[in-house]
Amino acid sequence: MTNTGSGHFFEDFNVGQVLRHSTPRTLTAGDASLYMGLFGSRFAVQSSEIFARAIGYPRAPIDDLLVFHLIFGKTVPDVSLNAIANLGYANCRFLAPVFAGDTLTATSEVIGLKENSSHKTGIVYVRSHGFNQDNVEVLDYVRWVMVRKRDEAAAAPQEHVPELPAAVDGGALGSACPRIGVSAYDFELAGSARRFGDYAIGEKIDHVDGVTVEEAEAQIATRLYQNTARIHFNQYAAAQERFGRRLIYGGHVISLARGLSFNGLANAFHIAGINGGRHVAPLFAGATVFAWTEVLTKGALQGRDDVGAMRLRTIATEDKPCQDFPWKAGDDYDPAVRLELDYWVLIPR
């Protein structure tokens, strides 16, 4: 699509429309380093070429979430430049590993539209796809956003709300993770002896540490993804809106929580899919993010005995340590909760 900087409004979308996003991007070791400096990831597979090769990767893969954020960023100019809120993610699958040197592009298909009763906004559902330079699909996911109408009087597109699975089929996941040699996986070097079999369904894990968000960090990260959503960068405009401040990109909180989750999940080295994500409340610079995780289910991968899949729910909070596992109080979220993320990780058996 042509990027004039003004983006699309709700009435510009129609179901079945395919958006080919601009800005192809070659990922390098430099991106991996900067991502490390911003989130401090410690998972051994992404941190060490030697470790990754020992277990069967051709090279150390790029962090899954860096790939996610990059593909997400490409969709922003066409999908969510005029979004009021990023409502959710679903059915996200990591399909092939990404390595330094790979060049990523993205497309999205509009799979649903629903005007809001105010006639001022509507919800746009897209399925986005990321590809590498060999046109191998590396990622796909659904997200839905509330987008402004340019003109309240404009006719609304035909309403269509897609059916979305509550969760990705865990057993079908894993194509982004080669079969690993578990005997070569050095658990001590990876930071924990805990394997698939050592986690119980229902187990709750406090990730202990907290990390305070700085405006400069969030801006650098969000630009690294070439995400141009205005609310993350423009304090002049933000000062005149509801919150008065730049909003931290929701994906920033996801990466912070993933980084913290190493404390207790050190061997859960690969995110294979994301079942659903919800930004319960916005986050602003100065907040200290904490996180905890519950093991929801565990499952086998089809035809594989090297790794198992664990379905996790990670909750990230603001300014509230998680030793008491804050989540919901009745139907409402604990007021400290900022993120709820439901996803599948792979972990050696």
Stretch that binds its own copies, among 156-164, 171-179, 234-242, 272-280 (CB under 8 A): 234-242
Q: Which is nearer to its own copies, 165 or 286 (CB)?
A: 286
- Write down the least CB distance from residue 228 to its own copies, Å: 7
- Residue 182 in tokens: 């578990």
Q: Which is nearer to its own copies, 101 or 181 (CB)?
A: 101
> According to the binding rule CB under 8 A, does residue 97 interact with its own copies?
no
Secondary element (H or E) of residue 235: helix 235-238
Binding mask 62-91 for its own copies (x = CB under 8 A): ---------------x--------------
The rounded distance, in Å, linking the Cα atoms of 120 and 169 is 36
- Residue 40 in tokens: 């401090």
Give the length of the chain.
Answer: 349
> According to the binding rule CB under 8 A, does residue 56 interact with its own copies?
no
- How many residues form the binding site for its own copies (CB under 8 A)? 78
Q: Which of 178, 195, 321, 325 binds its own copies (CB under 8 A)?
A: 321
Q: Which is nearer to its own copies, 21 or 93 (CB)?
A: 21
Q: Which is nearer to its own copies, 90 or 295 (CB)?
A: 295
Stretch that binds its own copies, among 98-106, 120-128, 305-313, 326-334 (CB under 8 A): 98-106
Contact predicate 107/154, CB 8 Å = no
> According to the binding rule CB under 8 A, does residue 18 interact with its own copies?
no
- Write down the least CB distance from residue 193 to its own copies, Å: 5
Write the CA distances from 167 to 111, 245, 298, 311, integer angstroms. 18, 34, 13, 9
Q: Which is nearer to its own copies, 113 or 266 (CB)?
A: 266
> According to the binding rule CB under 8 A, does residue 241 interact with its own copies?
no
| Other CB atoms within 10 A of residue 254 CB | 25
Instruction: Give the single-character DSSP code of 324.
Output: T
Q: Which of 217, 306, 340, 342 binds its own copies (CB under 8 A)?
A: 217
Contact predicate 103/32, CB 8 Å = no
> According to the binding rule CB under 8 A, does residue 293 interact with its own copies?
no
Phi-psi group of 240: left, alpha or beta (phi > 0 → left; psi -120 to 50 → alpha; rest → beta): alpha
Q: Which of 136, 161, 184, 220 binds its own copies (CB under 8 A)?
A: 220
Stretch that binds its own copies, among 121-129, 141-149, 155-163, 221-229 (CB under 8 A): 221-229
Dihedral pair phi/psi, residue 307, rounded to 5°: -130, 155
DSSP for 49-101 reads HHHHHHHT-SSPPPPHHHHHHHHHHHHHHHHTTTEEEEEEEEEEEE-S---TT
> According to the binding rule CB under 8 A, does residue 60 interact with its own copies?
yes
Closest by CA to 68, choosing from 18, 104, 41, is 104
Q: Which of 56, 109, 195, 226 binds its own copies (CB under 8 A)?
A: 226
The rounded distance, in Å, linking the Cα atoms of 169 and 179 is 19
The rounded distance, in Å, linking the Cα atoms of 148 and 244 is 19
> According to the binding rule CB under 8 A, does residue 61 interact with its own copies?
no
> According to the binding rule CB under 8 A, does residue 224 interact with its own copies?
yes
Contact set for its own copies, span 108-167 (CB under 8 A): 133
Q: What is the 3-state secondary structure (H, E, C) of 134-164?
A: CCCEEEEEEEEEEEECCCCCCCCCCCECCCC
Q: Which of 16, 166, 236, 331 binds its own copies (CB under 8 A)?
A: 236
Contact set for its own copies, span 242-271 (CB under 8 A): 246, 262-264, 266
- Residue 249 in tokens: 């990109």
Binding mask 164-203 for its own copies (x = CB under 8 A): ------------------------xxxxxxx---------
The distance from CA 9 to its chain's CA centroid, rounded to whole angstroms, is 24
Q: Which is nearer to its own copies, 32 or 164 (CB)?
A: 32
